[in-house]
């Protein structure tokens, strides 16, 4: 198999996924209008992910996040559970 054919076979799946995502986003834009995307923090799992957020809300800012606050909340919750 020629090297050019191997390169094409490697690039085609990524191109198809990119085109599919573009079509999907275009259809969403036509039905819902402009979207604001941002980083959202999930307190239950302690993870972040990119998603659409409301126009009046701010996205999660990792610079302003203090992990020690999360640890304090978990320690306080464990202490309360132990006392009950």
- Indicate the domain borders of the chain: 1-33, 35-84
pLDDT tens, position by position, 22-46: 999 899 889 888 777 778 777 788 7
pTM of the model: 0.50
Secondary structure (DSSP) of 15-83: HHHHHHHHHHHHHHHHHH---EEEEEEETTTTEEEEEEE-TTSPPP-TTT--HHHHHHHHHHHHHHHHH
Place 55 in a pLDDT band, splitting at 50, 70 and 90: confident
Above pLDDT 90, what percent of the chain?
A: 30
């Amino acid at each position: 198999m020629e090297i050019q054919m191997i390169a094409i076979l490697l690039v085609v799946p990524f191109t198809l996924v990119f085109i599919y995502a573009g079509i999907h986003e275009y259809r969403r834009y036509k039905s819902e209008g402009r979207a604001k995307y941002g980083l959202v923090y999930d307190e239950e799992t302690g993870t972040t992910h990119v998603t659409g957020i409301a126009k009046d809300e701010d996205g999660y800012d990792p610079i302003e996040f203090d992990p020690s606050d999360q640890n304090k909340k978990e320690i306080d919750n464990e202490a309360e559970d132990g006392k009950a």
